[in-house]
Structure 1
Amino acid sequence: MTTYGSIIIEIVLPVLLMLGAERFAVYRFLQTPQQVAWVRNHWWLHPNAISRARYPMGFIAVLLLHLGYPRLCFLFFTFWMITDITDGDIARKCDLHTKDGESIDPFSDKLMYSPMLIYLAWLNWLSPVLVGFFLLFDIVGQASRHFIKTKAANLFGKAKTFLVVVLLIVVGLELIYGPLPVLGRAIHPLLVICVGLAFCSTVFKLIPNYWYANILSIMNLVCGLAGCWVILAGHPPVYALGLVFLGQFLDLFDGRAAERWGSTPKGELFDDVADGTSFGLTVGLIVATAFSQLWVGILVGLLYLGAVVYRLVRFVIEKRKAGVLGGVETFAGLPSPAGALLAGTACVLIANDLIIGFLVVLTSMLMVSRVPYAHFGRAILPKVPKIVRVIVLGAFLFLLALGVRRDQYLVPLIFAFTCALAYLASPLYWHPRKSPASE
């Protein structure tokens, strides 16, 4: 049997069985008011009790690994990380959310993965310096909960925890089965991303909430400016496209951050300038360099940039006329992030000028059109099961980290291009509700 066959039988299947059993139990036994009352009346099923039960489990997992039981350690660690999903569902379904739980849950996560990170750094499987920075940011972030009002984990903290688990899974598989060329190359990039997320998680705890949306928009703007520099400096366009990907991830949350915590008077302007830079100017430069004849590329790139700017200006004007204060669930015309994804990946993936030109012009026409498109973050994503979102995000981040390490971007680019085409055709099968404004 091949190594990857052994991984599927010995690791993947048991983990899927544990996760499936946990999901079945949560959905099956929390349906009726009587079941919910029964859970509420048993202290050991309280979310805080489950979180506290995880406190020693990270140390026990390290002990199992140190004693020479890597497979048992892997499954033991995975089981207890799955309970992190369980306590959240119980808290929501049984209305057992508490202020203490906002600190207890993230603290239990840290006690789960920190001992393993330290042990693996001691074994030189992970960079001791990067692990040290990661733990420093984690400690500062946890300590800040004693003097800040919002104690719950923010979006960066949740993403960090998820990616740390992915990192430990990859390292664990290498420990058990020996060098795995495909997986092993992703270890260092994943650790770097985790450190960055830990830093952002800590910083976002220490600043006023109403600045969250602005900071996300400014970070998106920085990604756009860096992407422009990449193109103008003559570097491969795929690096600029990677910065556009990062900007899209940030743009996915800045609007909702503004709705939840408010923003500054210039917050909407920050967002528009950032979108215009990342999804308009950067991708326009990528388009300009994609053609064999530069003058053709410049013309098509200007057409695309003009469509993005027109779309953003039209959205602001129509939104203000309609008196819409928050976000919208339906757009008139293809949203600029989706247009950037389609045009950018087409230019990097496809070598035929005619096909690139057709796709970019089609994208530009759809952006200025009135074709209704559902908001991906507000209308589509919430209807996708959480476990599917987690698996897809984890797979994409892993493939992206692998590409950063080895300059092998084909698979994540094809994945992104396919998603962009699916969204492009979404008005044919997804009929969003009408909204008074467009983007």
Structure 2
Amino acid sequence: MTPYGSIIIEIALPVLLMLGAERFAVYRFLRTPRQVAWVQNHWWLHPNAISRARYPMGFIAVLLLHLGYPRLCFLFFTFWMITDITDGDIARKCDLHTKDGESIDPFSDKLMYSPMLVYLSWLGWLNPFVVGFFLLFDITGQASRHFTKIKAANLFGKAKTFLVVVLLIVVGLEMIYGPIPALGRTIHPLLVVCAGLAFCSTAFKLIPNYWYANILSILNLVCGLAGCWVILAGHPPVYALGLVFLGQFLDLFDGRAAERWGSTPQGELFDDVADGTSFGLTVGLIAVTAFSQLWVGILIGLLYLGAVVYRLARFVIEKRKQGILGGVETFSGLPSPAGALLVGTACVLIPSELIVGSLVVLTSLLMISRIPYAHFGRAILPKVPKIVRVLVLGAFLFLLALGVRRDQYLVPLLFAFVAALTYLASPLFWHPKKATPPE
């Protein structure tokens, strides 16, 4: 049997069965008020009790690995990480959320994966310096909960925990089944990303809440400026597109950060300038490089950039006229992040200048149109089951890390291009309630 067949039978199926059993139990036994009351009256089912039960499990997993039981270690570790989903669901469904739980839960996660990271770096599977950098900021972030008002894990902390688990899964499969090129090349990029997320998670705990949205917008702006430099310096456009991807991720949350924690008077300006730079100027320059004749590329790029700028200006003007203070769930016209995703991936993937030019023109027209588009983050994403979101995000990040390691980006680019095309056609099967100004 091939290594991939063994992985499916010995690892993937047991993990899916555990996850399926956990999901079934949560949905089956937390449906009625009587069931919820029963859970509330049993201390060992309290989310904090489940989190505390994880405290020694990371050390036990390392002991199992050290004694020569890697498969048992893998399944044991996975089981206890699945309970991290369980305690969150119980806290929400049974109204058992506590202030202590905001510190206990992330601390239990750290005790789960930190011993394994240290042990694997000691064995030589992970770079000890990067692991040390990660743990330094991870420990600092946990300690900060004792003197800051923010106790719960932020977005960066949740993403960090998820990717650390993915990293340990990849290393575990390599240890059990030998070198697997498609997996092994992702280890170092994943570790570096985890270290970066640990830094961001800690930094955002020490910064005033009302600056969160501005920082996300400024980071988006930095991505856009860096993408422009990549193009002007003659580097492959795919690197600039990668920076646009990162900017889109940041842009997905800056509006909601402003709604939740407030912002400064300059917040809206930061957001507009960042979006215009990343999704307009950078992608416009990418479009210029897609054409053999410079004047054609400049013309197409200016057309696209003009559509983005017009769209952003129209949104601000009409939003102020209507007195809309928060975010919107429906846009008039294709949102600029979606337009940037479609145009950027098309310019990098498609060799035909005619097809690329047609897509750029179509995208520009859709952005300035009044066709209603649902907000991806507010209207579409919440309707997707959480487990599906996690699996899709994990698959995309894995493909992206693999592409970075091998400098081959075809698969993640196709993934993004299909997603952009699907969203472009979404008004055909998604009918928003009421159109509001474009973003």
**TM band (smaller chain):** over 0.9
Cα shift readout 1:238-293 (whole Å, capped 9, x = no counterpart): 00000000000000000000000000000010000000000000000000011111
2:295 corresponds to: 295
1:438 aligns with 2:438: yes
TM-score, scaled relative to structure 1: 1.00
In structure 2, distance between residues paired with 1:414 and 1:437: 30
Contact 1:227 1:239 survives alignment (8 Å): yes
Q: Is the 8 A contact 1:283 1:340 kept in 2?
A: yes
- For 2:88, the equivalent position in structure 1 comes to 88
Residue 216 (structure 1) aligns with: 216
Q: Distance in 2 between matches of 1:270 and 1:156?
A: 21
- What is the rounded CA distance, in whole Å, between the counterparts of 2:137 and 2:30 in structure 1? 37
| Superposed structure 1 runs of 4+ greater than 3 Å apart | none
Contact 1:328 1:435 in 2 (8 A): no
Gap regions ≥5 residues in structure 2? none
Aligned ranges for residues 27-426 of structure 1 at < 5 Å?
Answer: 27-426=27-426
Overall identity of the aligned pairs, in %? 89
Distance 2:292 2:9 in 1: 49
Q: SS state of the match for residue 37, structure 2?
A: helix
**For 1:285 and 1:436, how far apart are their aligned partners in 2?**
29
Contact 2:22 2:86 in 1 (8 A): yes
What's the offset of the Cα at 1:435? 4.0
- Structure 1: where are the runs of 5+ without partners? none
Cα RMSD of the aligned pairs, angstroms, is 0.5
Q: Check whether the contact 1:54–1:80 (CA below 8 A) recurs between aligned residues.
A: yes
TM-score of the superposition, structure 2-length normalised? 1.00
Alpha-carbon distance in structure 2 between the residues aligned to 1:68 and 1:300: 61
Deviations 1:32-85 (A, max 9, x none): 000000000000000000000000000000000000000000000000000000
Q: Per the alignment, in what secondary structure is the counterpart of residue 373 of structure 1?
A: strand
Offset, 1:234: 0.3
Secondary structure, counterpart of 2:147 in structure 1: coil
Aligned AA (2:345):
T
Other structure's SS at 2:373 match:
strand
The alignment partner of 2:24 has SS state of helix
Aligned-pair CA distance for 1:434: 0.7
Q: How many equivalent residue pairs?
A: 439
Deviation at 1:324, TM superposition (A): 0.2
Q: 1:379-427 CA deviation, whole Å, 9 max, x = no partner? A: 0000000000000000100110111111110000000000000000000
CA distance in 2, matches of 1:66, 1:293: 62
State the 1:150 CA deviation: 1.4
1:207 counterpart letter in structure 2: I
Match of 1:95, SS? coil
- Distance between the aligned counterparts of 1:164 and 1:432, measured in 2? 37
Within 2, Cα distance between the matches of 1:281 and 1:437?
22
CA distance in 2, matches of 1:244, 1:196: 18
1:308-363 alpha-carbon deviations (Å, 9 max, x no partner): 00000000000000000000000000000000000000000000000000000000
Deviation at 1:438, TM superposition (A): 2.5
